[in-house]
């Protein structure tokens, strides 16, 4: 079996352009969000992980607020018994969109710094509720983020 990568994309119409980009770049998509198809998306992502594939989830969701993690990624990690790998990027030369998430498009050949940190969902959930765990996850992401 060839290992594949799946990305969580909003179930909204706006997610369609990202799904097309993912397909072009070889990333498969799972559609869903907290407001549309989230429960099915969580089940699909857990299944993908248990089948030996990789998944990617933007922790602040499709609507933000920016840098505030949502519960979905924690639930997927808990149900699949797989740790979360936090990944942040810092770009040298880039263009930044005037959007809620301050989306960044790096210029060709610019320097990219990648920071990672492995987190256990069990450790996160030791902080209390899923909302408390999401708050702790947000804090850990911010320790890696410099912008």
Count the alpha carbons within 13 Å of 39 in the hemisphere toward its beta carbon.
0
Domain limits, the chain: 1-56, 81-147
pTM of the model: 0.81
**pLDDT digit string (tens) for the chain, length 147 residues:** 789 999 998 877 777 778 888 888 899 999 887 677 678 899 999 999 999 999 998 887 767 788 888 888 899 999 999 999 999 899 999 999 888 778 888 999 999 999 999 998 888 888 788 889 989 999 999 898 876
- Predicted confidence at residue 118, as pLDDT, reads 93
């Amino acid at each position: 079996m060839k290992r594949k990568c799946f990305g969580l994309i909003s179930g909204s119409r706006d997610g369609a352009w990202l799904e097309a980009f993912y397909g072009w770049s070889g990333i498969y998509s799972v559609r869903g969000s907290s407001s549309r198809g989230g429960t099915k998306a969580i089940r699909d992502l857990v299944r993908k992980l248990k089948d030996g594939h990789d998944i990617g989830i933007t922790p602040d969701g499709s609507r933000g607020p920016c840098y505030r993690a949502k519960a979905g990624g924690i639930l997927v990690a808990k149900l699949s018994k797989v740790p979360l790998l936090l990944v942040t990027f810092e770009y040298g030369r880039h263009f930044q969109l005037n959007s809620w998430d301050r989306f960044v498009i790096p210029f060709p050949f610019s320097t990219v710094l990648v920071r990672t940190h492995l987190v256990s969902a069990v450790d996160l959930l030791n902080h209390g509720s899923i909302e408390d765990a999401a708050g702790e996850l947000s804090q850990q992401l911010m320790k890696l983020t410099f912008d």
